[in-house]
Structure 1
Amino acid sequence: MTARRVTDSGRPLAFSFDGRPYEGREGDTIASALLANGVRVVGRSFKYHRPRGIYGAWTEEPNAIVDVTFDGTTTPNLRATTELLKAGMDVRSVNAKPTADADRLGLLDRLSPFLPAGFYYKTFLWPDWHRFEPRIRAMAGLGRLDPSNEPPAENPMVNARCDVLVVGAGRSGLAASAEAAGAGKSVILVDDQFAPGGSMLYREVDGDARVEQAVADIARLGGRVLSRTTAYGIYDHNLVCCWERRGAQPDRQWRVRPGQIVLATGAIERPLIFADNDRPGVMSADAALFYLRRHGVLVGNRIVLAANNSRAIPIADTLREAGAHVTVADLRDGGTVDAVHGAKAVEAVTVSGKRLDADTLLMSGGYTPTVHLFCQAKGKLRYDEGIAAFVPGNPVEGVSVIGSAAGDFDDYAISPVWPKAGAKTRQWIDFQNDVTLKDVELAARENFRSVEHLKRYTTLGMATDQGKTSNMNGLAAMAAITGRTIEQTGTTTYRPPFTPVPFTVVAGRRRGELFNPVRRLALEAEHRAAGAVFREYGGWLRPAWYGKGDAADEVRREARQARDTVAIFDGSPLGKIEVFGPQAGEIVDYNSYNTISTLKPGRIRYGFMLTESGVIYDDGVTTKLADDHYVVSCSSGHVAGVVARLEEWRQDRFDPSQVFVHNLTPHWATLTACGPRAKRLVDALSLGVDLDDAALPHMGAGTGTFAGCPARIARVSFTGDRSYEVSVPAATAPALWAAMNEAGRVLDAVLMGSEALLMLRAEKGYIIAGKDTDGTTMPQDLGLSGPRDKRQGEYVGKRSLFTDNAQRQDRQQFVGLAVSDGGPALPTGAHALGSDGGQRRSAGFVTSSYDSPALGRPIALALVQRGLSRMDEEIELVHLGSVRRATITDPCAFDHDGSRLNA
């Protein structure tokens, strides 16, 4: 046995690893328990399936990733170094079949010459990548998901503010917290380890007692200390997100907005690079000290300690006192580690040409400040020759870095030992992803010399440890190979999260209806009483149709009667966004493809909103109530997005004191009367509005009263028939519903759901943004190029409408389709067929399709390549292997001259 427990405290805890029983002690991590039981091989590397042992002691650990089954639930891909051992745990290695010690896929290491960096771009091109892809994908991934592992009902989320947030409860963090709290500031101190203290707990005499006193002092001064809480990300405006692990209780996310962030995140010991430095038994020197002092585990009996810095050398004396035989290889004197011997574990080490018997090799290549959060806050780094590491450069407002994280190492001397190119042996830089020094050399030869390209080409630093132990050596290697300095080579971009965080923690309570709340109509009870069948449209629960008969029959009945008499439809979810102030006209113009401000008060204009890339985002109408007051009505599902757009431009382009945006969609309920008898129905409501066509023409608006409350009337149509939208305060909606139904009885009115409405608008060729458009559709693709060609002012998306792509002649354009093969309605999604060099390809697709009751035939809308110039052309469409024929037509199939709007 190599490692052993030298202090035996805590009650025994039985557990198993890869099917074999073991015993740990209370307070152990999975890693310390495995070490105490002499388990050397704990996992397999990702690509070559080489045996891997425990390297580190905390989040920097690249090798010991395990699946843990406890109380019948399996959680995948946990770090053995950060998981507390529990009695009855069944721990399994990942990426190994059947076990880490006897992995059949270990044979892949013999194929390593054929699997260099970027091998999937090279090795498997012949005869066809797709022949290899299924098997390669099946081998990918690490742990196994447990379908029965359902997350807790909710993970609480806490929003907090404080004057000072300190990240890291080591010596510097504790001192900074006490100082701030003593100055009367509100303080939150977070630390990711099981207890505060950091390296004080295993590097300093009486560290436990001094940490306990410091924590007590901070609490006495009103500070809050959160252990097992990882600050994993700094986001816009210095929002800090933290993951608190609470044992038996669900984990909790803290979203903290501090006045000042103090980063006391310490430093990570980095490996040395030499031949076979990935063998089980090769460990971080600092980790060995941690396991001895915190868990009473001596990691080896015959130890070689190789280091290039003064901080690691004294560890040898502590290990000797615990009973180990330790040989020090001080690389500052020019010594070298030439080789590690042993297949699955260290058996000997060759140092400066001399072979030494050993069961453990501890290495320390220096310390790299943990600057991830600083960089997430947009901090830049500079290379410090004195400590051979990157440290924070220019300060970031609201963020300060202290202690080891700032490169402030007490009594520290180092002689850099960086990877040297040209070695014939394999030297490992990224242990988890199997990136070697030769891979970095290959990347340089193939001109992937930027560190960002190096990362993606070789996968260096892309493992679950996010390069905590590999990045520095990797970029130093690239610097040496390309003849640049380390600072010139630079670093990759650090992104959150700092360490893997469960999705459930990030989601918090945002799941189910709490993630996407179902919006409900003020008249839901009335609709249900009338026999409505509900479906979700744009996030709203709305009537799809009314009645208990066949769905298709009920929808056709409603559509037919709406054309013949009058239909009552609940349009409450349509956006009602108030824009007012001296610059109201300017912002609605800027937000729209069409000019809006030229309207007269009391008039309405239809138009599009575009993305900055010129693509149609939404369509709707805008009402001008006065020169400084507009109401933007967008589609139901885009209300929040349109409000966000308007608010963004209000703040970024206009004077926020001159224009205001207020979403009143929930305040107003809207009932629509549409059809030939709509005017008679609305006139019966006694709204106090002149409904004569001269006073209230199509696309006109008026104000009146209903039941003593204000009422707005808009004469707009989404069906092609005369229509009136009547909006009243939501609390008044039941009374308006009752009044309209009462007036509708003598007019043979019908209640109409969304499905019939969609059919009626398709007969008229009216689009639904996102259904009849896709992520490329621009206004000219609908034949609406007037504003693009004539409008002078700026608006969102204007520049993009004049790009080469926007003016291509083969763009997909909006057209109608008439079935010409005598068959039923075309399948929505059916592809129009085109050809390219004799090969069939898609030339567009059907966006909407219905069997029109008004026309007595099928109709369809589609996006077809060059469709506007191909009227009356017959095309083929294919759907699930079935070929259909249709003729390209104008999108408007019903009442082409629009006479029914005033009928």
Structure 2
Amino acid sequence: MWPDWRLFEPAIRKAAGLGTSPAHPDPDTYAQTSAHTDVLVVGGGNAGLAAALHAAQAGKSVVLVTGGTHWGGRLAGTGDPVEGKPARVWIEDTLRALAALPNVTLKTRTLATGHYDHGMVALCERLTDHLPLGQRSGPRQRLWRVRTDELVLATGAIERPLVFRGNDRPGVMLAGAARAYLHRCGVVAGREIVLATNNDSAWQAAFDLAEAGTHIAAIADARETPSAALTTRAEALGIPVHAGMAPAAAIGGRAIRAVRLGRVNVAGRIEGQTIELRCDTLLVSGGWNPAVHLHSHGAGRLTLDPDLQSFVPLAAAGQKSIGGAAGDFAAESTLAAARGDDAPRKAASPIPALWSISETGEPDPEAWVDFQNDVTAGDVALAARENFRSVEHLKRYTTLGMASDQGKTSNVNGIGILGTLLDKPMEAIGTTKFRPPYDPTPFGVFAGHRVGEGLHPRRRLALHDWHVERGALLDEYGGWMRPAAYLRPGEQEADAVRREVLAVRSGVGLFEASPLGKIEVKGPDAAAFLDRMYVNTISTLKVGRCRYAIMLTENGTVFDDGVVTRLADDRFLVGTTSGHAAAVAEAFREWLQCEWTQMRVLVEDVTTCRAVANIAGPKARHALAALEPDIDISGDAFPHMSARAGRVCGIPAHVARVSFTGELSYEIAVPWRDAGQLWAALVEAGAPYGLIPFGIEALMTMRIEKGFLHVGSDTDGTTLPQDIGFGGIMRKKTQDFVGRRSALRPDGLRGDRRSLVGLEVTDGNPAPLVAGAHVLPEMAAAPKPGEGWVTSSAWSPTLEAPLALALVAHGQDRIGESVRIWNLGAWREARITGLCRYDPEGARLDA
């Protein structure tokens, strides 16, 4: 299909300057910390410095932050005096006073990125970004979560550019930027400079540059009658002034070489003849927009200031905006507000609305509004014609303000242009939603140490080193590094699994089951509580007996399963799957704390308190008896699904006779520190009976042979208890429990729901079916809706055939029926069977 996007996309993206995400992990580290302060002042200009000093002298703890490397803010980029002192002297004196106070914390290179609920402000402190690579050590950045009783926003204001043809040419820059270069760095922006503006502040840039020896070719002010004081000073400096004029276009290719000026009306249209002035730099200023981002993050509201032609913050609880952030640019009233005085703000000269300048009177498609996302005035006009008239729709249609700067210099101009086109006031247009972070911030600083194993630590078994020494092939199962199989020299994994399965079936095997969740639930109401949490009735369980149980979500789907043991009338040990122990314990606590607050129950996750060795196989009793436990382990005294407490090889132990292999099996739980002693004793005692260790893959193969459910493999987010054979238990239980109502909705009672069944491969192919393969009717030959899928599959060394489990539509009613299995274009043949294919009578379990 033409055009071939894959052919042209790379070139287009490269030309547009769009970057690519790194392919490798972030090599840097990041830190996080939390703090509380009485007053947090954001902004290191004159307003912020004065506010911090006033609060600190009142005895309050103060944190003052600035995103820059130096204090003073915009003031440091001017030569303006403050309280009779030069700006630099005033800044140094104030900093000296702050540094002498013990209740003040000063932070440079620390940007306030977001303002959240309950007075929480996120700060991003750049620790090493400014250092040469060879000198960097430690975290790159630090995230501060600061909670404050009072937030003072002295974040200043952002200068607006003018929107006219060619305003993206190199050499066109903001007047405030040129002034900052001069006073901070001693650098002049150009040799032949023209200034275009509609407000008083920009004139000072021209004056400062002229006094520094730079030639100012002209000042063009869109106002018909600029201040007499300004024009008089310009004349004294020999600067031509063009009142009522604005730039029609910047002329030049790779750099500006001239500017065309013309008379501009209130609508931004250039009228009459234009004049051309040669220059290498064009300074522009369309006014100032208070930086209201943090105010708005905290749900603060805005209003339009008709004198500034910009949005200013309204009063909000717990936060106060001062200085440029409040639209106040007079030093006297700014300092008064910083010190808590309610002096009225000094009236500024009104700034006329000048959102877009063109010679046609229509938004120019070559006049840039958003420089980073290449949005022009013509794009805004097109959006209005296409009926994208909501400011949020304008943003998404044009990408205005969607670049990494979030429209700091472009949004107000874009809103003004849209309001003009729709003939609506700007306050009716409104602003787009301000979202944190305020500036681009590395993802790493939000993650902090929660990356890699800091986020998802690899948990190791009690006998981890022993397994490694015995050739265990380790893999992650449920968050734990566990042996998949124990490989002998020259052995493949499949061969090792076959050997381990046959050894357990014919003799005895040893498996570490320490990761299985173990949660103690105790208290007078423990039995009643577990009745509410599980599909099964737990309260009828006798002391010393075990019961397999499943737990549901509130939606009625299967959440977890495990064996519940009653240790005493008021004490239970709840078993969970390895990966769900913490989630089940959290669910227990949530229900107790939020819903059933009257129940007298304590919940404690003891998973890592006890290590578990599982000894399984027809000779397991002989191997365990060799350790001379003080427990009667005979079949009659210690039947299947029961538990006893005693001592095994001198270690206090809890022994449960439960099985996931289908063989006689004992799970021996001892204190974690004693795992090595127990394990060594079992290995020695089992040696005469051919004991070998076996891994997860052998265990899973044996459970498939036996038809045992594995939550997460044989279930998904839609599986209900009736799909896995618990429908009868659920219907018989009259007491309510979590998920019951949801599981019994009409959809859960459909006759064609999928149910868990076994699959017997009938095509003579020894390869196991692929988990996830689709199950279709026997005569299916073309693509058609599937009736289910394979959930678990393995080669059975015991039966010497591939076996599988599957969720199949009304599968329990179709036992014996032939089906076809489809996976990626390949067909297999199978027959639906019952779940259990090995020892269906359970004689080996009950031995």
TM-score range, shorter chain: 0.7 to 0.9
Instruction: Note if 1:414 corresponds to 2:351.
Output: yes
Question: d(CA) in 2 for partners of 1:128 and 1:601?
Answer: 75
- Alpha-carbon displacement from aligned partner over 1:519-557 (angstroms, at most 9, x marks no partner): 222222333454434333223222222341412222112
1:172 Cα deviation after fit: 2.6
Question: d(CA) in 2 for partners of 1:317 and 1:337?
Answer: 20
| Residue pair 1:267, 1:369 contacting (<8 A) in 2 also | yes
Instruction: Note if 1:405 corresponds to 2:315.
Output: no
Instruction: Note if 1:210 corresponds to 2:112.
Output: no
1:702 Cα deviation after fit: 3.9
Task: Tell me which residue corresponds to 1:228.
Answer: 109
Residue 735 of structure 1, aligned match among 677, 681, 689:
677
1:724 Cα deviation after fit: 2.6
1:734 Cα deviation after fit: 1.8
Instruction: Note if 1:428 corresponds to 2:338.
Output: no
Residue 194 of structure 1, aligned match among 62, 66, 69:
69
Task: Tell me which residue corresponds to 1:859.
Answer: 803
| Residue pair 2:510, 2:692 contacting (<8 A) in 1 also | yes
Report matched runs for 1:575-724 at 5 Å. 575-580=517-522, 592=534, 596=538, 599-600=541-542, 602-610=544-552, 615-625=557-567, 629-655=571-597, 660-682=602-624, 685=627, 687-689=629-631, 691=633, 697-706=639-648, 710-724=652-666
1:780 Cα deviation after fit: 4.7
Question: d(CA) in 1 for partners of 2:36 and 2:588?
Answer: 29
Task: Tell me which residue corresponds to 1:243.
Answer: 125
Task: Tell me which residue corresponds to 1:497.
Answer: 437
Residue 266 of structure 1, aligned match among 156, 163, 180:
156
| Residue pair 1:233, 1:242 contacting (<8 A) in 2 also | no
TM superposition score normalised by structure 2: 0.79
1:761 Cα deviation after fit: 1.6
Residue 254 of structure 1, aligned match among 133, 143, 149:
143
* Change in CA separation of 1:810 and 1:372 when aligned onto 2, cut-off 3 Å: farther
* SS in structure 2 at match of 1:140: helix
Task: Tell me which residue corresponds to 2:302.
Answer: 382
* SS in structure 1 at match of 2:476: strand
Question: d(CA) in 2 for partners of 1:441 and 1:499?
Answer: 28
* Change in CA separation of 1:838 and 1:154 when aligned onto 2, cut-off 3 Å: same
* SS in structure 1 at match of 2:844: helix
| Residue pair 2:363, 2:381 contacting (<8 A) in 1 also | no
Task: Tell me which residue corresponds to 2:259.
Answer: 348
Q: Which amino acid aligns with 2:219?
A: T
| Residue pair 1:566, 1:749 contacting (<8 A) in 2 also | yes
Task: Tell me which residue corresponds to 1:364.
Answer: 285
* Change in CA separation of 1:195 and 1:424 when aligned onto 2, cut-off 3 Å: closer
Task: Tell me which residue corresponds to 2:240.
Answer: none
Question: d(CA) in 1 for partners of 2:224 and 2:810?
Answer: 72
Structure 1 unaligned residues grouped into runs of 5+: 1-126
Task: Tell me which residue corresponds to 1:135.
Answer: 8
| Residue pair 2:364, 2:377 contacting (<8 A) in 1 also | no
Q: Which amino acid aligns with 1:279?
A: R
TM superposition score normalised by structure 1: 0.75
Report matched runs for 1:70-469 at 5 Å. 127=1, 131-133=4-6, 135-136=8-9, 139-140=12-13, 142=17, 152=27, 154-203=29-78, 204-205=80-81, 206-222=86-102, 223-234=104-115, 238=120, 240-246=122-128, 247=131, 248-250=135-137, 251-260=140-149, 261-322=151-212, 323=214, 324-331=216-223, 337-346=247-256, 347-351=258-262, 352=264, 353=270, 354-357=274-277, 358-376=279-297, 378-386=298-306, 387-393=308-314, 395=316, 400-410=320-330, 411=346, 412=348, 413-418=350-355, 423=363, 425-444=365-384, 446=386, 448-469=388-409
1:400 Cα deviation after fit: 4.9
Q: Which amino acid aligns with 2:185?
A: H
Question: d(CA) in 2 for partners of 1:770 and 1:138?
Answer: 45
Question: d(CA) in 2 for partners of 1:597 and 1:305?
Answer: 85
Instruction: Note if 1:752 corresponds to 2:694.
Output: yes
| Residue pair 2:305, 2:312 contacting (<8 A) in 1 also | no
Task: Tell me which residue corresponds to 1:894.
Answer: 838
Question: d(CA) in 1 for partners of 2:255 and 2:819?
Answer: 69
| Residue pair 2:529, 2:599 contacting (<8 A) in 1 also | no
Structure 2 unaligned residues grouped into runs of 5+: 226-243, 265-269, 331-345
Q: Which amino acid aligns with 1:499?
A: D
* Change in CA separation of 1:252 and 1:735 when aligned onto 2, cut-off 3 Å: same
* Change in CA separation of 1:802 and 1:249 when aligned onto 2, cut-off 3 Å: farther
1:858 Cα deviation after fit: 0.4
Task: Tell me which residue corresponds to 2:768.
Answer: 826
Question: d(CA) in 1 for partners of 2:280 and 2:743?
Answer: 69
* SS in structure 1 at match of 2:845: helix
Percent of aligned pairs sharing the same letter: 44
Question: d(CA) in 1 for partners of 2:578 and 2:10?
Answer: 41
Number of residues of Structure 1 aligned to a counterpart in Structure 2:
774
* SS in structure 1 at match of 2:221: strand
1:571 Cα deviation after fit: 0.6
- Alpha-carbon displacement from aligned partner over 1:754-782 (angstroms, at most 9, x marks no partner): 12111112223334333334455444544
Question: d(CA) in 1 for partners of 2:94 and 2:814?
Answer: 80
Instruction: Note if 1:567 corresponds to 2:448.
Output: no
- Alpha-carbon displacement from aligned partner over 1:206-243 (angstroms, at most 9, x marks no partner): 33333233333322213332222223345676262423
Q: Which amino acid aligns with 2:663?
A: D
* Change in CA separation of 1:496 and 1:794 when aligned onto 2, cut-off 3 Å: farther
RMSD over aligned CA atoms reads: 4.1
Q: Which amino acid aligns with 1:195?
A: H
1:287 Cα deviation after fit: 1.8
* Change in CA separation of 1:552 and 1:338 when aligned onto 2, cut-off 3 Å: same
1:577 Cα deviation after fit: 2.9
| Comparing 562-571 and 453-462, the one that deviates more | 453-462
1:807 Cα deviation after fit: 7.5
Question: d(CA) in 2 for partners of 1:340 and 1:187?
Answer: 48
- Alpha-carbon displacement from aligned partner over 1:694-718 (angstroms, at most 9, x marks no partner): 7755444443345666432333322
Instruction: Note if 1:769 corresponds to 2:711.
Output: yes
| Comparing 238-247 and 506-515, the one that deviates more | 506-515
